[in-house]
């Protein structure tokens, strides 16, 4: 009798959501760390970078736990490789958030006045992409219920499309911000411009990886 | 036969143990999920499961019992004083199966009582009377049914679940679709239930039912069930339709949780119909021969034996089964009521059809097949390692119970004769 119980594998979606929540916590620190930077509060910047570092580690622990606990011969409602890929994409978002924290602390950074408005716009758009991606991932439970098909799948498909558009908008903002940055050539130190290039790229990577999450889930929909 | 009374008493004791065991362990397969989803209380689940099991055992039970009693080994080969060998053999088969089931339950192996009994009777016939005593065609059919029943259960459950998905869960407004389609689903499932129940008549009640009568009953039952379903659906409020999708799925699954009570009882009924034979089949042979002094293959299985078997199965459910039901209910979280309904309904139909055909199959294996079937439609997490364990359990159950039967046979023979 006990044996028939073994036929029902535990859903990996619970831990997956837990991981996603952790990743979200990491990314949510990004606007805060920039606020601190605007205020020139270096201690606070360092503190938030540390927080991100700690959260990223927690997310890593959950990720490893999920990977270790997926048995080989289990039939998941979605392709197992896709499932693990989604997990690793989620994880890479946390990694990149950590990178931003590192980039803002290895050198004493200040935000050039001219960049303020464009940087703000860019940050808002990146956060919008991340939030939307997280919303898509949170649909996995309902998708499981409907076997990844039907109206639910169509709704998720719409969200994924929207995600693509949002990411494209954040790309445009990134372009404008970078243009502005290079206009500062000669005015700001070359090292500062070099660092900002990296910071902008890291932020853009967060948006890209979020979009990738949506694509990976889309591949599993059966509409 | 001076040991007649003693042998009957021993047989009944072992048969009672087997029946108790069957009731204690397997009924939980059916009721566990409904208790888990809180659609029914543990107490009610236990009582109703016991009643359904008893009814199945009493009404449909004789068919499989007859197979085990007289169709695996040719009883006509046992003439004259050989009659005693037949009685001892059947007793040994019963004892060996009971011992094997006891060991397997203790170790938590997914063995089937049906496989144990068939293996036991087969082993005894082969050793005592040789290759010719075995009805190979019957054995072939039984083994074939062991393969077909999980596969058929799987295909049927997949089809039912696909229908539920397409009609209800895929819809823009699942609750509205549920209100529209669930009465129809109830009607069709009632028709299938009645067809599989009556198409061979009810032997125990001496009720012969002709095919056209069966169809009439099924259609009338379906229509009544449809209208009851319509009434029920009227009571479901639509106001939740505006809430989140997640909330709406909850309402729909709540409906299926209720339907699952019926499908679970259907499983309990089919289970009683098929598995009572594992306890009563060999016992029926022993009782018939010991009482009349000759082997009569055509004598019906004594009704009091069926009642006896049914009662002990019910007792097993009430004295021990509730614990198993509780564990199953607490542990099964991986199956939503809509999937559970599809799996249970197809399991019960498969098992009941096999019971009507007199084929002793494993309810547990059919459930495993049905669950895998639903899992293949996606949206469920199935541990495929279980399939391997089920196949393994076949490989060791049959030789073991066969050999054990032969050993017990020679021991009892040495003592008595």
pLDDT tens string B203-252: 667 777 777 888 899 999 999 999 999 999 888 877 666 667 777 888 88
- Chain A to chain B, count of Cβ pairs less than 8 Å apart? 122
Distance from CA of A206 to the nearest CA of B (A): 29
φ and ψ of B101, to 5 deg: -65, -40
Name the residue in chain B with its Cα closest to that of A150. Answer: B170
| Burial class of B231 by CB neighbour count within 10 A (0 to 12, 13 to 18, 19+) | exposed
pLDDT in tens, A71-124: 777 778 888 888 899 999 999 999 999 999 999 999 999 999 999 999 999 999
Please calculate the CA angle B371-B168-B376 and round it to the nearest 5 degrees: 25
**Chain A residues close to B388, C-beta within 8 Å:** 73
Name the residue in chain A with its Cα closest to that of B24. Answer: A1
**Chain B residues close to A221, C-beta within 8 Å:** none
Distance from CA of B269 to the nearest CA of A (A): 18
Read out DSSP for B292-323?
HSS--TTSPPPHHHHHHHHHHHHHHIIIIIHH
CB contact under 8 A, A1 and B28: yes
Which of A3, A145, A155 minimises the CB distance to B110?
A3
The DSSP element (H or E) to which B79 belongs, if any, is: none
Distance from CA of A155 to the nearest CA of B (A): 10
Q: How far is CA B337 from CA A39, B31, B33, in A?
A: 55, 12, 8
Distance from CA of A102 to the nearest CA of B (A): 39
CA distance A36 to B82: 98
Helix (H/G/I), strand (E/B), else coil: B136: helix
- What is the model's pLDDT at position A120? 95
A149 contacts chain B (CB < 8 A): yes
ipTM of the complex: 0.79
CB contact under 8 A, A150 and B105: no
Which residues, 6+ apart, have CB-to-CB distance to B317 below 8 Å? B23, B24, B27, B46, B49, B50, B53
Nearest Cα to Cα of residue A199 among A97, A84, A100: A100
A14 contacts chain B (CB < 8 A): no
Return residues 122-141 of A near B (CB < 8 Å). 141
Q: What CATH code would you report for A11-218?
A: 1.20.58.220
pLDDT in tens, A109-158: 999 999 999 999 999 999 999 999 999 998 888 888 888 888 889 999 99
What pTM did the predictor assign? 0.87
- Say what percent of chain B tops pLDDT 70: 94
- Give the residue carrying structure tokens 């209720």: B258
Does the structure show a pLDDT above 50 at B262? yes
Does the structure show a pLDDT above 70 at B1? no
- What is the model's pLDDT at position B97? 92
pLDDT in tens, A23-54: 999 999 999 999 999 999 999 999 999 999 99
Count of residues making up chain A: 223
Q: How far is CA B223 from CA B18, B86, B199, B217, B349, in A?
A: 40, 50, 18, 10, 19
- What is the model's pLDDT at position A74? 78
Name the residue in chain A with its Cα closest to that of B244. Answer: A142
Helices and strands: H and E segment counts in chain A: 8, 1
CA distance A187 to A115: 13
């Amino acid at each position: 009798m006990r044996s028939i119980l073994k036929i029902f594998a535990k859903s990996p979606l619970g831990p997956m959501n837990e991981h996603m929540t952790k990743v979200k916590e990491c990314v949510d620190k990004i606007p805060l760390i920039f606020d601190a930077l605007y205020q020139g509060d270096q201690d606070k910047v360092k503190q938030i970078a540390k927080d991100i570092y700690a959260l990223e580690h927690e997310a890593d622990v959950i990720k490893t736990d999920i990977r270790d606990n997926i048995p080989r011969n289990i039939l998941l409602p979605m392709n197992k490789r896709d499932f693990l890929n989604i997990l690793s994409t989620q994880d890479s978002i946390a990694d990149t958030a950590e990178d931003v924290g590192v980039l803002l602390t290895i050198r004493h950074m200040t935000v050039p006045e001219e960049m303020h408005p464009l940087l703000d716009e860019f940050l808002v758009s990146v956060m919008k992409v991340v939030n939307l991606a997280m919303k898509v991932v949170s649909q996995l439970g309902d998708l499981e219920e409907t076997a990844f098909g039907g109206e639910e799948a169509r709704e998720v498909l719409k969200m994924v499309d929207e995600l693509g558009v949002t990411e494209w908008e954040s790309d445009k903002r990134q372009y404008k911000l970078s243009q502005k940055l290079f206009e500062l050539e000669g005015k700001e130190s070359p090292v500062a411009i070099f660092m900002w290039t990296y910071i902008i790229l890291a932020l853009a990577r967060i948006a890209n990886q979020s979009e990738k999450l949506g694509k990976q889930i889309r591949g599993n929909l059966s509409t | 036969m001076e040991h007649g009374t003693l042998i009957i008493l021993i047989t009944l004791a072992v048969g009672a143990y087997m029946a108790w065991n069957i009731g204690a362990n397997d009924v939980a397969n059916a009721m566990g999920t409904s208790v888990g989803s809180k659609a029914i209380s543990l107490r009610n689940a236990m009582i109703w499961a016991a009643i359904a099991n008893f009814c199945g055992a009493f009404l449909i039970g004789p068919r499989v019992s007859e197979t085990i009693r007289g169709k695996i080994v040719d009883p006509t080969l046992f003439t004259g004083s050989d009659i005693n060998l037949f009685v001892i053999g059947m007793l040994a088969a019963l004892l060996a199966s009971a011992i094997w089931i006891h060991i397997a339950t203790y170790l938590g192996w997914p063995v089937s009582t049906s496989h144990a009994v068939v293996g036991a009777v087969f082993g005894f016939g082969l050793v005592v009377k040789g290759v010719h005593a075995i009805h190979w065609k019957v054995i072939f059919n039984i083994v074939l049914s062991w393969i077909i029943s999980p596969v058929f259960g799987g295909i049927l459950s997949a089809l039912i679940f696909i229908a539920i998905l397409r009609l209800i869960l895929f819809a823009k407004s699942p609750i509205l679709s549920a209100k529209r389609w669930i009465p129809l689903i109830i009607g069709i499932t009632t028709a299938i239930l009645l067809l599989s129940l009556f198409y061979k008549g009810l032997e125990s009640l001496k009720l012969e039912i002709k095919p056209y009568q069966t169809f009439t009953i099924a259609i009338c039952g379906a229509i009544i069930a449809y209208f009851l379903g319509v009434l029920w659906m009227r009571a479901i409020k639509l106001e939740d339709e505006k809430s989140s999708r997640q909330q709406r799925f909850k309402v729909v699954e709540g409906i299926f949780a209720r339907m699952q009570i019926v499908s679970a009882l259907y499983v309990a009924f089919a289970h009683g119909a098929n598995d009572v034979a594992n306890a009563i089949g060999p016992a029926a042979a022993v009782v018939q021969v010991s009482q009349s002094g000759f082997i009569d293959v055509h004598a019906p299985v004594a009704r009091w034996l069926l009642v006896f078997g049914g009662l002990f199965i019910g007792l097993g459910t009430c004295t021990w089964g509730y614990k198993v039901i509780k564990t199953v209910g607490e542990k099964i979280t991986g199956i939503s009521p809509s999937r559970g309904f599809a799996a249970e309904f197809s399991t019960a139909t498969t098992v009941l059809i096999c019971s009507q055909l007199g084929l002793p199959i494993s309810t547990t294996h059919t459930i495993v097949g049905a669950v895998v079937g639903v899992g293949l439609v996606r949206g469920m997490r199935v541990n495929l390692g279980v399939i391997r364990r089920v196949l393994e359990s076949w490989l060791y159950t049959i030789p073991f119970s066969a050999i054990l039967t032969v050993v017990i046979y020679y021991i009892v023979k040495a003592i008595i004769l």
